[in-house]
């Protein structure tokens, strides 16, 4: 095992990695931007070094700065977490050149899987089903139109280098195609410096189901069952489950077999995720392979008991996986809710600001992963995730009601959050029945429920308490910047394209 | 004490007095006897006829931010004499010319409306990038863009005025 | 299922019970003493009523006051938690008379198991091994001496109505016996108004191992494996594990079989624990049966996945257990550390005071159960437990290193705690090897390790930061009552007899 | 600035000055350049040559309570001129007659020593019940009980004086 590693990330995933390192006795080196001096990952690491200003491109994406810290601290390996440099093949290659282990698969695997065209060609070559559509990306609208006519509308436009929902658009007719194509191309270029677009078959009620795999460099590859990730808002996962209620044993067998097949043929090493689109008839199509740890790995950990970061470190340090397929049992069910600082009244705009008070839920079956604390500011520079709350239950319904209980216990004061959205999702009959697709939020959760009058009365009573306390003590309990601003102008999320969600 | 209070655009008439450790309060026509306990800066435990509520509340002067059961509200108190007049005045001002300000810190990507443009409800006005996301600020009413106070690529602070529509 | 229940307890166990009630949609009524108006159980319950002044005897032990609240709130059942009225047969009987369900076994079972003489006679009658010694308690020193001579020294003196370590003394010779007998009798009378004492064989390296059982009123009885509770300080459990590393399959079979036998013959209903003493040669002797939920039930929940409070409520409401023996699998291993407000430098005296800041650990495999929050005061009136931290791992060592990681994350500021003691226990080679008896703490953890110089330097740096901040802002970050008092006179724990630990 | 500091009965000579966002500090002969960050009331993140430490610290005047890695310390600052003298004075006072005070709130069960009794190290003096537990306060030195300030069954507050031994 390594003696010391560098974590090239921030927030909850950096803290998550540090936790396992502490358990393994591995020293940790954090890197941070100027905005993150007080960040939890800086506080929890053994060492911490500033690598540049707040914008990610000048810090968390600065490969040279990060490698310089690795060199000077004698870190033997770099864990990239998710996002930032985690799927950057050039960075993975550079690590190797600098004699630092990149905790992830080989750079050529990252490159192949990161390039949708190459990835699809590999899948086609090995007989793995992919979504009908172009296997070659194009920058030309005319090509796109031709493909669309071949496979039939509706079609999906997808930036070739995109990911995490950024640079995607559904087109229902030939008339809409040109405008949409140009918009996606512009966004794709702005975000990824790559204007190439895929055109592919669009499914009306698809499920997004992914299989977690792990492989070592000793010829072992295992799957850790599937995750159901269909609850999305604008192609961004909001709630994840393990296992999927939609997946029966036959489908599970096909999905995991396909995922392991892919893992083997691409020469994978470490933790990876094979994403599938599954249609109404339970046909599965390869979407992409994420060559890193996922945000939602915690539900898999809850159900299998496997510490995936530990396995990543074992594999990267040259050891075999500590588990074989027979030892990986899926017990019970787990659900994860991603808690974001965002304003539900303003179309879920990010709502950065001071986290004045946080109380996270406790008790049986609850797991918290956060990168924040009372007093910390959610920065406008990074992903506004506050915490991941995951619950485990003997069955899906126990996990679900436990999550509702956990969400009720959760107090986040100072910024607006999507906690109420999660409650709406978890109490929706379609969700309870497990009968939903990736359209769930768009179709079922269209408006916020009305406040009841009594909650207004309680708010008035609370305000009165605070006011009387101020009058009594002459002290304001908190400064005024905690007050949330309301604007009389609505903001729309139509142009929301996230680059930093996973 | 009698005052007017607004929560989520609704106005309530509130009458209250201290009552032992707690308070007696009447909101519109609903009376409550409230046992309050403030254990640490902003947390209040409220008992109303035995029912237990956990409330987080803080603020100053006339504006308080209150979280109740996972929801948050801004609560505004008004002095019934002076404040209502001021409020009316500012509301009428708001109606004659509408000020668009940045709801959050970010960088202006593009103005979708220029000075002189007629905009109607739901028209996009400004695209603001914040936290790696493009956000469109939309108009809720009809008007003509009178003035723009920022330029594309500017980094703006929350509350910074961006545009006036008349 | 019940619509509404009353919880006749406080602290973490009351909160724990409320959590399950919320998940089951059961309304909760809390009762509280005047000292507990701001207690977490009051905040979390749906309703809360004051039942008297701070001393437990005037509030949490006041059966009439509690039943009056149950009546006026139309609570259908009362959950007694642990301690207080949980093993009070008269209270259980009174509940039934008041037409309120007592969540626990029948009052006669409580009475029989609460009376050590009766309990032992039942065990003897059914051929269950008990510890050699008197089966009848005595108030006479001469009787005690006779028994001691029969079974041989060393012997243990035990208050007949005692429990939780109170009223116990080891006697090594006839000379010591008289003094010790009188002391125990005095304590026993003062604490339980019952001067009767048992004299029994004393084992030099005993293990304290208990089996969790559950039974319903439909003829079903199951066990949920054993817990290892040998890590004790003055007969009080400090660390608990599930499973026990000392218990092999053969012993496990014997222990669980005996426990289920007892459950059946006494006509048990609900959750109960059969405590055994296991000697070096793996002989097991019945110690007592606790007719309530235990503090350490969380390790069993982590390993089996069963929500024991949920099962308690199911059974009490007349439903069968939701699980049968085949469905109860023990997966992995769990450890619990009880975090107390106590002063390790003053022989672990209770250290009540303000909990100025608390940060509990998070992340994989960590479960927190607490009844406190930042700003709460640990009261001198009740048990000074701050929280239970439990960790789960695929094996015992993973759970152990995870606990060490969790303890490192734990920040409790304002009162002294036993966190460092836990770290000493968990890193002791005998503990790591699983080679320990109930003497472990007394024999292995006799003194606190020396502070290292660097921690003093860090303390000075921290103090300097706070001092410069005060100088700069003119504000003290906190009031002075947070400063811990040091006394130049040592306190001894020799006479520490806990009545309220379980 | 130069000062004396005691931690856990050890005395250190401390010299320090502000240094940008942090401070330069020399404890006895060990020099540190410290980057400090105080994000919320009492939490301090400390970086010393890249090594990260999380410290909780608060206090006033010359006494601070500091938690470092799960351990807590009381840190006392001394003005090198005035305070040391005061300290010496109080120590000598302590030696001639020793004051026993209640280390915690509780109820006095029994005095094990009476006025006039000679007590030696480790002799029990008072049994105090707190949180359902009997605690024995022991003597650390030799002396004669001069005065007792409380009675059996009294409820005492922390710091309340119980006994003087000369």
Whether D40 sits inside 8 A of A374 (CB atoms) is: yes
pLDDT at A287 exceeding the cut of 60: yes
Own/partner pairs for A263-267, CB < 8 Å, 24+ apart?
A263/A213, A263/A215, A263/A221, A263/A223, A264/A215, A264/A221, A265/A122, A265/A126, A266/A109, A266/A112, A266/A113, A266/A122, A267/A105, A267/A106, A267/A109
Q: How confident is the prediction for chain B on average, in pLDDT?
A: 81
Tokens of C11: 């602290």
Binding-site residues on chain C for chain B (CB distance < 8 A): 29-30, 37-38, 42-49, 73, 373-376
Whether A38 sits inside 8 A of D45 (CB atoms) is: yes
Per-residue pLDDT tens for C422-475? Answer: 999 999 999 999 999 998 998 888 666 677 889 999 999 999 999 888 777 766
On whether the CB atoms of residues C371 and C12 are closer than 8 A, the answer is yes
Chain A hits for D50, Cβ within 8 Å: 29, 47-49, 73
- Reply yes or no on domain D92-165 having CATH 2.40.50.100: yes
Q: Provide the percentage of residues in chain B whose pLDDT is more than 70.
A: 85
pLDDT at C417 exceeding the cut of 70: yes
Whether B40 sits inside 8 A of C43 (CB atoms) is: no
A375 at interface of C, judged by CB pairs closer than 8 A? no
Q: What is the DSSP string of A267-327?
A: T--EEEEEEEEE-TT--EEEEEEE-S--TTHHHHHHHH---HHHHHHHHHTTPPPS--GGG
CA distance linking residue C213 with residue C258, whole number of Å: 11
CA distance linking residue A13 with residue A21, whole number of Å: 12
Known catalytic membership, residue A405: no
Whether B60 sits inside 8 A of A480 (CB atoms) is: yes
Identify the helix (H) or strand (E) that includes residue A253.
helix A249-265
Confidence of residue B143 (pLDDT cuts 50, 70, 90): confident
Q: Provide the percentage of residues in chain B whose pLDDT is more than 90.
A: 27
Confidence of residue A479 (pLDDT cuts 50, 70, 90): very low
pLDDT at D143 exceeding the cut of 50: yes
Chain C interface mutation, best of D58, D102, D163, highest count of C Cβ atoms under 10 Å = D58
Whether A46 sits inside 8 A of D39 (CB atoms) is: no
Q: How many interface pairs between B and C have CB atoms less than 8 angstroms apart? A: 37
Of C292, C396, C400, C402, the catalytic one is: C292
Q: What is the distance in angstroms between the Cα of C198 and the nearest Cα belonging to chain B?
A: 46
Q: Provide the percentage of residues in chain C whose pLDDT is more than 70.
A: 92
Confidence of residue B123 (pLDDT cuts 50, 70, 90): confident
Tokens of C427: 């890193």
On whether the CB atoms of residues C102 and C94 are closer than 8 A, the answer is no
Chain A hits for C307, Cβ within 8 Å: 364-365, 394, 398
Query: C295: exposed, middle or buried (C-beta count within 10 Å: 0-12, 13-18, 19+)?
Result: buried
Cis ω for the linkage preceding C243 (within 30 of 0): yes
Chain C interface mutation, best of D19, D40, D121, D132, highest count of C Cβ atoms under 10 Å = D132
Identify the helix (H) or strand (E) that includes residue C231.
strand C221-233
The subunits that touch chain C, with at least 3 C-beta pairs less than 8 Å apart, are A, B, D
Confidence of residue A86 (pLDDT cuts 50, 70, 90): very high
Return the pLDDT at D95. Answer: 46
Of A292, A338, A396, A501, the catalytic one is: A292
Residue of A nearest to D45 (CA): A43
> Which stretch of A477-486, C114-123, D111-120 has the lowest confidence by average pLDDT?
A477-486
Residue of C nearest to D126 (CA): C491
Identify the helix (H) or strand (E) that includes residue A51.
strand A47-52
Closest by CA position to C292, among listed C53, C443, C102, C42:
C102
Tokens 């060492």 belong to residue: A47
Chain C hits for A401, Cβ within 8 Å: 23-24
Q: What are the backbone angles phi and psi of residue A453, rounded to the nearest 5°?
A: -60, -40
Comparison of pLDDT for A2 and B86, the residue scoring more: A2
Return the pLDDT at B95. Answer: 46
pLDDT at C488 exceeding the cut of 50: no
Cis ω for the linkage preceding D20 (within 30 of 0): no
Q: What is the pTM of this model?
A: 0.84
Q: What is the DSSP letter of A341?
A: B
CA distance linking residue C193 with residue C196, whole number of Å: 9
Return the pLDDT at C486. Answer: 32
> Which stretch of A1-15, A53-67, C324-338, D142-156 has the lowest confidence by average pLDDT?
D142-156
Q: How much is the average pLDDT of C124-146?
A: 89
Q: How confident is the prediction for chain C on average, in pLDDT?
A: 90
**Domain B2-89 shares a fold with domain B92-165:** no
Per-residue pLDDT tens for C41-95? Answer: 999 999 999 999 999 999 999 999 999 999 999 999 999 999 999 999 999 999 9
Comparison of pLDDT for C89 and D93, the residue scoring more: C89
Return the pLDDT at D137. Answer: 81
Q: What is the distance in angstroms between the Cα of C4 and the nearest Cα belonging to chain B?
A: 13
> Which stretch of A59-73, A323-337, A433-447 has the lowest confidence by average pLDDT?
A433-447
The ranges assigned to domains in chain D are 2-89, 92-165
Chain A hits for C329, Cβ within 8 Å: 331
> Which stretch of A302-306, A424-428, C149-153, C329-333 has the lowest confidence by average pLDDT?
C149-153
> Which stretch of A117-131, C13-27, D106-120 has the lowest confidence by average pLDDT?
D106-120
Confidence of residue B107 (pLDDT cuts 50, 70, 90): confident
Tell me the angle at which helices A63-73 and A89-97 cross, rounded to the nearest 10 degrees: 30
Domains, chain A, in order of start with CATH, read 4-103 (3.40.50.20), 132-201 (3.30.1490.20), 207-447 (3.30.470.20), 453-499 (no CATH)
Residue of D nearest to C479 (CA): D59
Check the CA dihedral D90-D95-D96-D100 and report its sign.
positive
Identify the helix (H) or strand (E) that includes residue A186.
helix A174-192
Chain C hits for A409, Cβ within 8 Å: 19, 44
Confidence of residue A489 (pLDDT cuts 50, 70, 90): very low
Per-residue pLDDT tens for C229-282? Answer: 999 987 789 999 999 999 999 999 999 999 999 999 999 999 999 999 999 999
- Cross-strand bridge partners of residue A212: A273
Whether C480 sits inside 8 A of D34 (CB atoms) is: no
CA distances from A143 to A138, A149, A421, C356 (A): 7, 10, 40, 65
Residue of B nearest to A412 (CA): B70
Per-residue pLDDT tens for D19-54? Answer: 877 889 999 989 999 999 987 788 999 999 999 999
Comparison of pLDDT for A101 and A354, the residue scoring more: A101
Whether A30 sits inside 8 A of D40 (CB atoms) is: no
pLDDT at B80 exceeding the cut of 80: no
Confidence of residue B89 (pLDDT cuts 50, 70, 90): very low
Return the pLDDT at A163. Answer: 65
Q: How much is the average pLDDT of A208-229?
A: 97
The subunits that touch chain A, with at least 3 C-beta pairs less than 8 Å apart, are B, C, D
Q: Provide the percentage of residues in chain C whose pLDDT is more than 90.
A: 74
pLDDT at A319 exceeding the cut of 70: yes
Check the CA dihedral C208-C211-C217-C219 and report its sign.
negative
Return the pLDDT at D61. Answer: 82
Task: Name B93's Cβ contacts closer than 8 Å, sequence gap at least 6.
Answer: none
Whether B45 sits inside 8 A of C375 (CB atoms) is: no
Tell me the angle at which helices C396-409 and A11-24 cross, rounded to the nearest 10 degrees: 120
Strand order in the sheet with A207-215: A284-290, A270-278, A207-215, A221-233, A236-242, A333-340, A385-393, A366-370
pLDDT at A491 exceeding the cut of 50: no
Return the pLDDT at C478. Answer: 53
Of D8, D104, D132, which is closest to C451 when you measure between CB atoms?
Answer: D8
Chain B hits for C47, Cβ within 8 Å: 50-52
> Which stretch of A480-484, C13-17, C151-155 has the lowest confidence by average pLDDT?
A480-484
CA distance linking residue C321 with residue C270, whole number of Å: 9
Q: How confident is the prediction for chain A on average, in pLDDT?
A: 90
Tokens of C60: 């949490």
Return the pLDDT at D164. Answer: 86
Query: D121: exposed, middle or buried (C-beta count within 10 Å: 0-12, 13-18, 19+)?
Result: exposed
- Cross-strand bridge partners of residue A350: A342
Tell me the three-class secondary structure of C92-113, residue by residue. HHHHHHCCCEECCCCHHHHHHH
Of A463, A480, A489, which is closest to B137 when you measure between CB atoms?
Answer: A489
Per-residue pLDDT tens for C329-376? Answer: 999 999 999 999 998 877 788 888 899 899 999 999 999 999 999 999
Tokens of B64: 């308080």
Q: How much is the average pLDDT of C15-20?
A: 98
Whether C352 sits inside 8 A of D138 (CB atoms) is: no
Chain C hits for D106, Cβ within 8 Å: 380
Q: What is the distance in angstroms between the Cα of C476 and the nearest Cα belonging to chain D?
A: 6
Comparison of pLDDT for A470 and B36, the residue scoring more: B36
Return the pLDDT at C442. Answer: 87
Chain A hits for B41, Cβ within 8 Å: 357, 477-478
Q: How much is the average pLDDT of B63-67?
A: 92
* CATH class entry, domain B2-89: alpha beta
| Cβ-based neighbour number of residue C14 at 10 Å | 27
Whether B50 sits inside 8 A of C375 (CB atoms) is: no
């Amino acid at each position: 095992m390594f003696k010391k590693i560098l974590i090239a990330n921030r927030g909850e995933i950096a803290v998550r990695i540090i936790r396992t390192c502490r358990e393994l006795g591995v020293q940790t080196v954090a890197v941070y931007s100027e905005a993150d001096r007080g960040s939890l990952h800086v506080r929890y690491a053994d060492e911490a070094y500033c690598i540049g200003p707040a914008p990610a491109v000048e810090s968390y994406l600065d490969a040279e700065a990060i490698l310089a810290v690795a060199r000077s601290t004698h870190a033997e390996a770099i864990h990239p977490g998710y996002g930032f440099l985690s799927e950057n093949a050039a960075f993975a290659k550079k690590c190797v050149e600098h004699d630092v282990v990149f905790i992830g698969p080989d750079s050529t695997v990252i490159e192949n899987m990161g390039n949708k065209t190459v990835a699809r060609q590999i899948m086609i070559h090995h007989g793995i089903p992919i979504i009908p559509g172009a296997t070659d990306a194009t920058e030309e609208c005319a090509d796109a139109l031709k493909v669309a006519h071949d496979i039939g509308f509706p079609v999906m436009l997808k930036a070739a280098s995109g990911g995490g929902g950024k640079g995607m658009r559904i087109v229902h007719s030939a008339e809409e195609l040109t405008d949409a194509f140009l918009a996606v191309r512009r966004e794709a270029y702005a975000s990824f410096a790559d204007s190439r677009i895929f055109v592919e078959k669009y499914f009306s009620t698809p499920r997004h189901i992914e299989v977690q795999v792990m492989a070592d460099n000793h010829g072992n590859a295992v799957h850790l069952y599937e995750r159901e990730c269909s609850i999305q808002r604008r192609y961004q996962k909001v709630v994840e489950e393990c296992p999927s209620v939609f997946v029966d044993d036959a489908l599970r067998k096909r999905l995991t077999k396909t995922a392991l097949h892919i893992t083997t043929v691409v020469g994978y090493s470490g933790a990876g995720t094979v994403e599938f689109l599954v249609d109404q008839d339970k046909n599965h199509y390869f979407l992409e392979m994420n060559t890193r740890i996922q945000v939602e790995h915690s539900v898999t950990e809850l159900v299998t008991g496997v510490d995936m970061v530990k396995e990543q470190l074992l594999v990267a340090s040259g050891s075999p996986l500590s588990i074989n397929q027979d030892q990986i049992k899926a017990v019970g069910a787990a659900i994860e809710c991603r808690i974001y600082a965002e304003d539900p009244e303003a179309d879920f705009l990010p709502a950065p600001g001071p986290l004045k008070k946080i109380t996270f839920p406790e008790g049986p079956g609850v797991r918290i992963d956060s990168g924040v604390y009372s007093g910390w500011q959610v920065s406008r520079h990074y992903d506004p995730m506050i915490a991941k709350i995951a619950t485990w239950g003997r069955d899906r319904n126990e996990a679900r009601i436990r999550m509702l209980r956990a969400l009720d216990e959760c107090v986040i004061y100072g910024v607006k959050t999507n906690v109420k959205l999660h409650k709406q999702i978890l109490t929706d009959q379609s969700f309870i029945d497990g009968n939903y697709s990736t359209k769930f939020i768009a179709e079922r959760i269209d408006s916020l429920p009305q406040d009841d009058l009594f909650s207004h009365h309680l708010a008035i009573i609370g305000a009165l308490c605070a006011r009387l306390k101020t009058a009594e003590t002459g002290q304001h309990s908190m400064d005024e910047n905690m007050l949330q601003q309301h604007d009389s102008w609505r903001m729309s999320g139509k142009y929301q394209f996230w680059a930093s969600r996973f | 004490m009698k005052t007017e209070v607004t929560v989520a655009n609704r106005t309530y008439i509130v009458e209250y007095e201290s009552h032992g450790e707690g308070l007696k309060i009447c909101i519109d026509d609903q009376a409550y006897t409230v046992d309050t306990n403030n254990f640490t800066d902003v947390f209040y435990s409220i008992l109303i006829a035995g029912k237990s509520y956990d409330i987080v509340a803080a603020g100053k002067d006339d504006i308080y931010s209150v979280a109740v059961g996972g929801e948050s509200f801004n609560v505004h108190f008004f002095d019934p004499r002076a404040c209502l007049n001021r409020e009316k005045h500012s509301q009428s001002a708001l109606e004659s010319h509408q000020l668009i300000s940045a709801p959050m810190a970010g960088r202006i990507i593009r103005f979708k409306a220029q000075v002189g443009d007629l905009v109607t409800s739901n028209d996009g006005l400004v695209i603001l990038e914040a936290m790696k996301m493009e956000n469109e600020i939309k108009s809720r009413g009809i008007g003509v863009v009178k003035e723009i106070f920022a330029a594309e690529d500017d980094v703006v602070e929350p509350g910074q005025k961006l545009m006036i529509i008349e």
